Amino acid sequence: MTEMFSNIPNTRPRMVGPPPCAQCGGPTRLYGTEPHPRLARTDLHTYVCSGCDSAEVVSVPIPAAL
């Protein structure tokens, strides 16, 4: 029965952990999300470092709905 579903593409977004801190390499946590002001179907994720408290903003595309 698994052969029947083997050709269906995986459309789920791959879950990846937060990026390491660009300043000190320490762990970061998600601080907030908001829509991108100019790019459609894109969010901005803000991460804050647990060690040095620096912030990093990452553009994240929103996958198309099926």
DSSP 8-state code for residue 6: T
* Terminal Cα distance for the chain, rounded: 23
Whether residue 12 is contained in a domain is answered as no
Pick the closest to residue 58 from 20, 13, 12, 11 (CA basis).
20
Could you report the per-residue pLDDT of 16-52, keeping only the tens digit for each?
789 999 999 999 999 999 999 999 999 999 999 999 9
Whether residue 36 is contained in a domain is answered as yes
Domain tally, the chain: 1
What pLDDT does residue 65 have?
76
Whether residue 8 is contained in a domain is answered as no
Cβ count within 10 A of residue 21: 20
What pLDDT does residue 9 have?
52
pTM of the model: 0.70
Whether residue 4 is contained in a domain is answered as no
Domain hosting residue 49, numbered range: 21-66
